[in-house]
Amino acid sequence: MQFIPNILFIIALISGIGYFISNSRKLIRNIKLGYKTDNSDHKKERWKNVVRIALGQSKMVVRPVSGILHIIVYAGFLIINIEVMEIVIDGILGTHRIFSGAGILYDYLIASFEILAILVLIGVIIFWIRRNIQKIKRFWNPEMKGWPKKDANFILYFEMFLMIFFLIMNATDHQLQQIGSTHYNEAGMFPISQFITPLIDNFSETTLIIIERSAWWLHILGIIVFLNYLYFSKHLHILLAFPNVYYGKINPMGKFEILESVTKEVKLMMDPSAIPVEGEEAPAKFGASDVLDLSRIQLLNAYTCTECGRCTDVCPANQTGKKLSPRKIMMDTRDRLEEIGKNIDKNGIFIPDNKQLLDDYITREELWACTTCHACVEACPVSIDPLSIIMDMRQYLVMEQSAAPNELNIAMTNIENNGAPWPFNQMDRLNWKNEN
């Protein structure tokens, strides 16, 4: 009988981790639906970016209030994981506070977890206020209606409850230590949860044990559930930010990809003596109309996006009331990829569903509103590049469908015929020299 909690714990742990792994596999499979790119370059710079941007949160603090709050929650999340390790070992072995042998070091660890826990709790409450009371504009854009808004709040509630359970667990544990309950050896220092003690100091030992055990279970089960919630939420950035920053753009932002497939065709066109390589097929498609035409990095970008909206907040088109929102580009890409993933889950392979990213998710009006100013790319704290998706989709519209806005077609015809976007003769290019 006494092993029942351990067995239940091991089952919860294994099924939680198992489900997480199976969803992670799906996620990786979906990302691999994109085409491969060579990113073996600039290793040193890429690692530097991971340290600076992902670990060091350098782009978060560009906005000091949310940046510093985020660092607190992030540090709390990372460091409190040491406590989770202890809980997991205790759960499996049936021990209690197995690390307490570390003596004074353990006291300081527990004390620091408690301080972090209260800071995280405060941080998360401020986040909730910013979102729901202060109603900061970027959290209320049209694309945030419905699930994205709920999702964001669910995550905040999760974090609040995890921290509250943690502190209740410590408070009751401490009280049980005080009254000399067996199993509850004196260990730890409780600078924060001691303030809960007055509320519980007349509780019986049994009540205290029930509360302590419940908080312990709710805390660890909450963590397991949260781990599995990630896949269904916008919150994957806590894992994917690191690879995403590693694979982020290294070149100057102004350097756009040069399409090799086009280079081949242009060379053939310009050099009449060139002979096409035998057996080489013409590229199937220029640009992107669906997520399957995007690169793996672009798809990783989409899963990494946590919908903070800093990109949309600085987008000149969005700021002046146009439909374009770089965050929506990322959300649409992710949602469409998920749709295709579910299609594959069901059918084994992707069965065309008469839908695509273009028009069914992202409208042409959004794509043509972009000024390619790179403010969104600069603003993203985790090196997502919404602009690259916009450009790929414009390429599809122009090269596959000849569907540019008419004025642009005129400008492009001018470039083609007389080497300038306006209808001036190339022979007049130096006339300015003699004009007054």
Q: Which residues bind other proteins (CB under 8 A)?
A: 62, 251-256, 258-259, 262-263, 265-267, 269-270, 286-287, 314, 316-317, 319-324, 365, 368-375, 377-378, 391, 393-399, 404-405, 407-408, 410-412, 415-416, 419-422, 424, 426-433, 435-436
To other proteins, the closest distance from the beta carbon of 70 in angstroms equals 19
CB of 207 or CB of 371, closer to other proteins: 371
CB of 353 or CB of 400, closer to other proteins: 400
To other proteins, the closest distance from the beta carbon of 325 in angstroms equals 12
To other proteins, the closest distance from the beta carbon of 112 in angstroms equals 35
Q: CA–CA separation, 390 vs 368, rounded Å?
A: 9
Q: Is the Cα torsion angle 367, 259, 292, 327 positive or negative in sign?
A: negative
CB of 76 or CB of 386, closer to other proteins: 386
User: What are 338's two structure tokens?
Assistant: 């998920």
- Give me the phi and psi of 16, to 5 degrees please: -65, -50
To other proteins, the closest distance from the beta carbon of 419 in angstroms equals 3
CB of 324 or CB of 329, closer to other proteins: 324
CB of 96 or CB of 374, closer to other proteins: 374
Q: Could you give the angle at which helices 386-395 and 296-304 cross, rounded to 10 degrees?
A: 130
- Report the SS3 class of residue 288: coil
B/e letters for 403-419, b = 16+ CB within 10 Å, e = fewer, are ebeeeeeebeeeeeebe
User: What are 87's two structure tokens?
Assistant: 């809980």
Place of tokens 């202890």: 86
* Residues 6+ positions from 297 with CB-CB distance below 8 Å: 34, 37, 39, 247
To other proteins, the closest distance from the beta carbon of 374 in angstroms equals 5
CB of 78 or CB of 415, closer to other proteins: 415
Q: CA–CA separation, 182 vs 359, rounded Å?
A: 66
- Report the SS3 class of residue 134: coil
CB of 28 or CB of 415, closer to other proteins: 415
- Report the SS3 class of residue 7: helix
User: What are 175's two structure tokens?
Assistant: 């009280």
* Residues 6+ positions from 142 with CB-CB distance below 8 Å: 325
To other proteins, the closest distance from the beta carbon of 318 in angstroms equals 9
To other proteins, the closest distance from the beta carbon of 307 in angstroms equals 21
To other proteins, the closest distance from the beta carbon of 296 in angstroms equals 21
To other proteins, the closest distance from the beta carbon of 166 in angstroms equals 38
CA nearest 386: which of 244, 260, 272, 275? 244
CB of 273 or CB of 354, closer to other proteins: 273
CB of 82 or CB of 262, closer to other proteins: 262
CB of 296 or CB of 310, closer to other proteins: 310
CB of 166 or CB of 361, closer to other proteins: 361
Q: CA–CA separation, 422 vs 419, rounded Å?
A: 9
Instruction: Specify whether the CB–CB gap between 197 and 175 falls below 8 A.
Output: yes
To other proteins, the closest distance from the beta carbon of 425 in angstroms equals 9
To other proteins, the closest distance from the beta carbon of 64 in angstroms equals 13
Instruction: Specify whether the CB–CB gap between 387 and 372 falls below 8 A.
Output: yes
Instruction: Specify whether the CB–CB gap between 298 and 381 falls below 8 A.
Output: no
Name the β-bridge partners of 295.
Answer: 35
Burial of 309 (0-12, 13-18, 19+ CB in 10 A): buried
Q: How does DSSP classify residue 379? A: H
Burial of 51 (0-12, 13-18, 19+ CB in 10 A): exposed
Kind plus residue range of the DSSP H or E element containing 118: helix 104-132
